Structure 1
Amino acid sequence: MELPNLAPYLGQITFGGLAGYAVGYALKKVGRALAVVLGLLFIALQLLAQAGYVEVDWTRIQKDVEPLLQQSGLQSLWHRLVATLTYNLPFGASFVGGLLLGLRAG
Structure 2
Amino acid sequence: MPSIRRLNADDTFEVLSMSDDRSPRWLRQIFGDVSRQSTGKQLAIGGVSGWCAGYLFSKIGKVAAAAMGTSMILLQIAQYNGYIQINWNRVERSVTEAKERFDRGSTRNLPAYFESVHDFLRQNMFVAGGFAGGFLLGIAT
TM-score by length of 2: 0.46
Unaligned runs of 5+ in 1: 1-6, 65-82
1:99 matches 2:135: yes
RMSD: 3.4
Quote the offset at 1:103 in angstroms. 1.3
2:40 aligned residue: 10
Quote the offset at 1:53 in angstroms. 1.7
1:44 aligned residue: 74
Quote the offset at 1:55 in angstroms. 2.9
Q: Relative contact order (alpha carbons < 8 A, sep ≥ 6): 1 or 2 greater? A: 1
Displacement over 4 Å in runs of 4+? 86-90
CA distance in 2, matches of 1:18, 1:47: 44
Percent identity between the two aligned chains? 28
CA distance in 1, matches of 2:85, 2:139: 37
Quote the offset at 1:15 in angstroms. 1.1
Quote the offset at 1:43 in angstroms. 2.1
Q: Matched residue of 2:85: which SS?
A: coil
CA distance in 2, matches of 1:101, 1:89: 20
Please show how residues 41-80 of structure 1 align to structure 2 within 5 Å.
41-56=71-86, 57=88
Number of aligned residue pairs: 81
TM-score by length of 1: 0.59
AA aligned to 2:131 is F
Deviates more, 1:7-16 or 1:92-101: 7-16
Q: Matched residue of 2:46: which SS?
A: helix
Deviates more, 1:47-56 or 1:16-25: 47-56
Unaligned runs of 5+ in 2: 1-36, 96-116
